[in-house]
Amino acid sequence: MRFDGKAALITGGGSGIGRATAAAFAQEGARVAVADANRQGAEETAHAIEAAGGQALALEADVTVPDAVEAMTQAVVDAYGQLDCALNAAGVGGEGTPLLELSWERWQHTIRVNLSGVFLCVQQQLRHMVPAGSGAICNVASIWGLAGTGADGMIGERQPAYNASKHGVVGLTKCAALDYASAGVRVNAVCPGHIETPMTGFYREHPERKAHLLRAYPGGRMGQPDEIAQTVLWLCSDAASFVTGVAFPVDGGYLAQ
For residue 146, which of 162, 122, 129 has the smallest C-alpha distance? Answer: 162
Question: Would you call 130 exposed, middle or buried from its count of C-beta atoms within 10 A (0-12, 13-18, 19+)?
Answer: middle
Whether 162 is a known active-site residue: answer: yes
Strands (E), 93-203: 135-140, 185-192
Identify the DSSP state of 223: B
Give CA–CA dist 65/69, Å, rounded.
6
Which residues face 11 on adjacent strands? 35, 88
Rounded Cα distance, 125 and 117, in Å: 12
Rg (CA), the chain: 17
Among residues 137, 120, 129, the alpha carbon closest in space to that of 68 is found at 120
Residues tagged active-site: 162
